[in-house]
Amino acid sequence: MSSVCLQLYYQPKIDVFANEIVGYEILLRNKDHLPYYPAAKMEKIYHNREKHSHFLVWLKKELTRVLQEYPSNSLSVNFSPRQLLYPETKQFFSEMRKFCDQLIVEITEDPILLDITEEISGKTIEESVISALAFIKNQGYEIALDDVGTGQNSFERALEYVPYLSQIKFSIVKCLKYNASLEMIAYFLKAWHQFARENHLDIVIEGIEDQEMSMKLADNGMLLQQGYYFGKPASEKNLQSS
């Protein structure tokens, strides 16, 4: 699949105390009548260096245009650990460095890394990922760890990545998907909130679907929120200047 078949969608992140949009998460969508994330096709891109290189060229062009048009907006862009292994990814962040104050790099899950044991330039896979995170941070970008506590972004991984992080994201929807009770989710939230405080990180709670949930989180000091209650992923025409 050519990357030109993709488009960028945006979902707002809200500071509920200030009642304002503090940024947007960028989400990839195809160009179907009802756009969705083409997971299987993107996996083929992420696992093929040449295709991934072409994808980065497209992404750089699209991001540059949007960042120039909305210079006061903060945008979060998702990268999997797998993508961090390609030298073209470092080149991408070097070339986008002039926008580092506007871009947050969200590190998503990549379970395939569990099955890889080979070395890259004398380093293990995890060492190579850590090296890439250090490079991105040194370029001036903020880094967030997405979906902590579910899937592969475990407590152990969060501890390993924490020197490079400025933010963690906790997804209520992901927990519900695994049939976690609301009481159990509350315990997890409390623990991750404490983790964020002790490590001087922001925490964004994703999957907010109603006012009651939003207010309860705010009452417990979790003010950065994201979810359908505030806005579904939408095209660029819905972007607001901060």
pLDDT digits (tens, 9 = 90+) for 180-189: 898 999 999 9
pLDDT digits (tens, 9 = 90+) for 92-140: 999 999 999 999 999 998 765 555 555 566 678 888 999 999 999 999 9
| Domain, as residue range, for 196 | 3-233
What's the pLDDT at 118? 53
**pTM for the full predicted model:** 0.93
Mean pLDDT of 45-59: 95
Q: With CA atoms as reference, report the closest residue to 239 among 58, 71, 19.
A: 71
Domains in the chain: how many in total? 1
What's the pLDDT at 121? 64
- Domain for residue 241, yes or no? no
CATH classification at residue 108: 3.20.20.450
Backbone dihedral angles phi then psi of residue 20, each to the nearest 5 degrees:
-145, 155
- Domain for residue 240, yes or no? no
What's the pLDDT at 113? 58
- Domain for residue 144, yes or no? yes
Task: Report CA-CA distances (Å) from 131 to 56, 90, 187.
Answer: 20, 10, 33
- Domain for residue 242, yes or no? no
- Domain for residue 179, yes or no? yes
- Estimate the share of the chain in helix, then strand, then coil, as percent rounded to the nearest 5: 45, 20, 35
Q: Which two tokens stand for residue 186?
A: 């509350």
